[in-house]
Amino acid sequence: MFPMPHCVPHSSFRLSNLIRYGVLFLLALVPLTTIYFKNDRQEWTGNHALMAAPDEFSYMLTAESLLHGHGISTQKTLGLDTFYPPGYPILLALWSLIVQHGNVTPFAAHVFNALLLSAATIVVYFFAKRLLLLLAPGSAGGLPRNHQPLASPDKPPAEPGANEWLAILIASIFATNWHVLEGAFFVFSEPAFTLATCAWLALTLRWPNWHLHPHQALLVALLAIASWSIRGAGIVCIAVTLLVPLFALLFVRSGPFHLFRRFAVVAIILFVAVAYQLALAHYSPGKSLFASAAQGGGANSYPHQFLRGITARGHLQFSRLTDWPDLLAHNAQLTISHLDDFARSFTPWLHDSYDAFPCYLVGRIFALLALTGFVRHLLLRHKLTPTLNLFLILYFALYLLWPFNMPRFWAPILPIMLVLIADTVGYFCTLAFARRYYATLLALLLALNASVLFVQLGDYQRRINNVSDALATAVATVVKHSDSSSPPIVAVAGDSERFVFAWYLSQIPGGQNVVLLSPSPVESIENFLIRMTEKIQEENTGQLFIISYFTETYYPRLFSQFANVQLHPLFQRERITTVWQVLPHEPSAEPGTNVP
């Protein structure tokens, strides 16, 4: 911290701190606005949405499995498991145990995510304040002496409170960013992942030489494992935690004692990472990096998704030299699309608008300034810590080639990027000019974020809850029309939908007896439905229901080929979901004709 000028009274400086912390407390309440909304009857209701994203239902079902004593795998309860990490379901289970007596509910999950984002807002403030101090002219920012930044005579140290108010602005932009809040609208693991990752980064800034001290390295490694256990992208955190001390061990000369201590740090981190993976391989093999295809390490795994992404779903092969130009072009296009997502993460008012060129231009300017600041410090190698540099490099390397496009993937590094924008503006301008106009730019960005939050909040919540209600009603329709004498068969499109309806069926009284079936990986949906129809014809059960999410129009045409059965619609909510029951044809009044 810079020394406080004598002209600033101590009492007013303390009052300024109190005001800042009061503002920070109010900012931490912003994510809570995602919990309640007004429905179509203008009644206040809680956010109870669960969409068809398989990861949402995987987290909820895994949390239930934990609370029922079945562990982190849903193999016993559902007949299949997922590759999603267990950290977030464990947190959900603990939260449900505390507030809901072990009853996992969507509303409790949304409250939990909102509180996680509130905590992340506070962590982002302190992290941004320390990073701004690290990059301030004339300050070492707590770095070791051999990493002193280059001071500039025309850029004197900042006044007390300047960095703190900039950090408040950065925290406010984070708390009101639509892509950040999206994690609270859904039951996603991003809020927990962002909190764990920012806490891990803050700890490495607090201890810039953590890789030289075993006890500090252990705490940093545990936070990195926590991030990895919450989201697959956390592998970047554990990779950085392992690589930084490994580089120090291999390339920094030292005496025998220091050499042994550096070796001990690497061994501790490696032990923690391997122990985590071995535990996964034992309790839920499909979640482990060591999983085989038979254990769930095939199509449903992060390595498989990543490989399919960079090879255009397997159409291109690295083993064929003739595919290399197409591979290069495909991955270049993938990288450009993700850079667009990175730019959009600064401009959340683009959530429902993709044609607003001025907004895109603003986002790209922000992205360019942030990347310029990072590359400048990477080349100078004297201000940012090795941990932060390596983390940003690996994080970009992962998500620039990831097959899915989502601006929310960039939320964990948004605070870093905003600080780098401030540093870039300060580098090209005088400090007073940079602080004044950068603060104005941030304030404008905050106003745009807040306006989008105010206008779209209720409408967006109504839409996602409408989908969730449609899914619940579809399953309730199956239960209502089922014959209690034998368990009905519910056919769904695939494993993702199987997770969706397994959740809703388990929440409806009597729904536990419904048998869920889905196609095998080598069987088409059409062949699967034909096979199931022939099965019920042979067994004469007549208890086959089909639930279609985002209704497919070819199902009626598919069943028109059967002479002895008909597809009877039971429920439809727009194009969100439809329920059919497969029934025998009823004899018509005229010979040779059938009526549906």
Q: What is the CA radius of gyration of the chain?
A: 27
- Residues with Cβ within 8 Å of 526's Cβ and at least 6 positions away in sequence, in order, are 554, 558
Give the helix/strand (H/E) hosting 573: strand 565-573
> What pLDDT score does 434 carry?
57
**Angle value at C-alpha 265, between 260 and 268, nearest 5 degrees:** 120
Distance CA 376, CA 4 (A): 30
Distance CA 411, CA 341 (A): 11
Q: Could you identify the residue written with the tokens 């209600």?
A: 469
Residues 174-193: b if buried by 16+ CB within 10 A, e if exposed: bbbbbbbbbbbbbbbbbbbb
> What pLDDT score does 589 carry?
42
Residue pair 60/82 in contact by the 8 Å Cβ criterion: no
> What pLDDT score does 155 carry?
46
Distance CA 67, CA 59 (A): 12
> What pLDDT score does 594 carry?
35
pTM of the model: 0.84
Q: What percent helix, strand, coil does the chain show, rounded to 5?
A: 65, 5, 30
Residue pair 67/104 in contact by the 8 Å Cβ criterion: yes
> What pLDDT score does 4 carry?
41
> What pLDDT score does 142 carry?
39
> What pLDDT score does 291 carry?
64
Residue ranges for the chain with pLDDT beneath 50: 1-8, 140-158, 297, 350, 354-355, 589-596
